[in-house]
Amino acid sequence: MSGAALSRVRVAVVGAGFWAVANHIPELAGRDDVELVSVCRLGRRELDVIQRRFGFRIATEDVVEALDAGVDAAVICGPNDLHRDHALAAIERGLHVMVEKPLAPTAREAWAIVDAARARDLIALVPHGWHYKPFVRAAYELARSGALGEIRHVLCHMASPTVELFEGRGGYGTVEIEGLVFEASPGTWASTGHRGGYALGQMAHSVGLLCWLTGLRGASVSARSTASGTGVDVVDAAVVEFEGGALGSLSGCGLAPAHAGFQVDIRVFGSDGMLLLDVERERCVLRRHDGSDEIVSVQPGSGAYECTGPPHRFIELVRGLSDRNDSPAEASARAIEILEGLLRSAAERRTVAIGAEGDL
């Protein structure tokens, strides 16, 4: 790849909201091989605070100025509905991209990012934090080893304490710099205009993980959702048929109590055995019909969500220090296909073909 000889990666951050300021920028700022060149968002006061704290050379409300600042890579963190435009603008300039979840709100937009990056041999990584946990990587290796045989059924469930965010009653997560508070805002996540809601805002984690673990691709989906007062989904349930005939049961809701943390429970059933991956109960277990089970050792507390791995791996990939992208945009695009189909099925109250505009 074009970044293989780089000793230092010059980075632009587009959309410096709560999560970029809380996670991505501090992680990148702590690396000696990263130069934070430009940052872009709306709000002059917020820009000035971020620039002073992290040392960006350029702080601008103009995306073009940020991307034309002589950088090698871009971190895309704006509202969901802007991911495609910002990512493609970066890729057109030959920049590697790390694009926040969801990769895009529609399959067409998601695959546009994937195809554009692939055509220019550029890295496209989506920061799915759980993928970089050792026990989750172990689950991936078990799932891809052939130990399960033919995959016939999957269960994929997620719950999180985010109902206030998606109902527009409050934010989620805060970080304070110089007295200025950055927060995940209901103005984005409870907005139909910005393509908020639980499926894209949270199930992108779980379904993205499922697609990465198994390599499955959805074919059709029948779903129902419960909407908040702002019109975005808060509870989702779906039956998915995958290419090849496997069936899946997918669910998600924002109703977990705040002190309970996150639930992500994935179970994969094949002709030769089953794989159980659960971040809440912190387990990764393979059980086979022939009795050759494997229980992966999981350190207590390691199921809690964190996203330190992706920004570091992104830089390692850009520099050519690693060739292992554990959260490739291709897997995220497959997840978006399913989630877009889920939302369309729920809205139209019928089974829909995933990735298709017409009837089955």
- Same domain for 136 and 116: no
94 or 191, greater pLDDT: 94
- CATH number, residue 66: 3.40.50.720
Mean pLDDT over 36-59 rounds to 97
Are 255 and 349 in a shared domain? yes
Give just the sign of the alpha carbon dihedral 229, 230, 231, 235: negative
- For residue 317, being part of any structural domain is answered with no
**CA geometry: angle 227, 233, 239, nearest 5 deg:** 110
Contact 344, 165 (CB under 8 A): no
| Same domain as 247, residue 347 | yes
Report the mean per-residue pLDDT for the chain: 95
Question: Taking the alpha carbons of 54, 58, 61, 64 in that order, is the dihedral positive or negative?
Answer: negative
Joined together, the tokens standing for residue 110 give 């998601």
- Which residue matches tokens 């199921």? 303
278 & 180 share domain: yes
CATH of residue 296's domain is 3.30.360.10
Confidence of residue 6 (pLDDT cuts 50, 70, 90): confident
pLDDT band at 114 (very low <50, low <70, confident <90, very high): very high
Using CA atoms, how far apart are residues 192 and 186, in angstroms rounded to an integer? Answer: 11
In total, how many domains does the chain have?
2
Query: Are 122 and 146 contained in the same domain?
Result: no
Checking if the pLDDT of 82 tops 80, the result is yes
Q: What angle, rounded to 10 degrees, do the helices at 329-348 and 107-119 form?
A: 160
Look at residue 126 and tell me whether its pLDDT is greater than 70.
Answer: yes
The pTM assigned to this predicted structure is 0.95
Is 120 in the same domain as 138? no
83 and 155 together in one domain = no
Tokens standing for residue 322: 């690693």
Q: Does the pLDDT of residue 183 top 50, yes or no? A: yes
Q: Which domain holds residue 13?
A: 9-129
Residue 3 confidence (pLDDT): 41
Q: Say whether both 231 and 275 belong to one domain.
A: yes
Residue 357's Cβ-side half-sphere holds a number of Cα atoms within 13 Å equal to: 1
Statement to judge: residues 222 and 346 lie in one domain? yes
